[in-house]
Amino acid sequence: MARKLSDKDVEILKKLAPECADITCSGSGFDYQSILPPVSNHYALDDDDFEERLNQLDIFELKYLSEVILDGSESLGCIQPEHADILVRLLKERLSEDVGEKVRVLYEAAGVCYY
């Protein structure tokens, strides 16, 4: 679901990717409409880096991120499958098994993304 990032979204994006100078995708020229896809596809160097970035979020930021994922306003589309697995594992560990499982089901239901 396309959306304009809120101030809180931008704050989380910049925490996850401090090298992100602005919220415009260099490839498309459009503003980012989600937090995780640009981190997964443009900023994280590898799986370990993606996990380290997510681990920087405090419990409240992680809870907010899970809420916007589950309400459909944060897209998981086009995040790398390995990164989705990392996200789900961290949600299960830090929030709850239930939240992590709901996010996993949502990610899998979205189907394949073509970059």
Question: pLDDT tens across 14-62, in order?
Answer: 999 999 887 876 666 677 899 999 999 999 999 999 999 999 999 999 9
Predicted model pTM: 0.90
Which tokens sit at 23?
């919220």
Res 114 pLDDT > 60: no
The C-alpha atoms of residue 108 and residue 64 are separated, in whole angstroms, by 21
So what's the pLDDT on residue 85? 97
User: At 75, which helix (H) or strand (E)?
Assistant: none
* Dihedral of the alpha carbons of 106, 7, 80, 87, in degrees to the nearest 10: -60
The C-alpha atoms of residue 6 and residue 112 are separated, in whole angstroms, by 27
- Give start and end residues of each alpha helix (H) in the chain: 7-16, 36-38, 47-55, 59-70, 81-94, 97-110
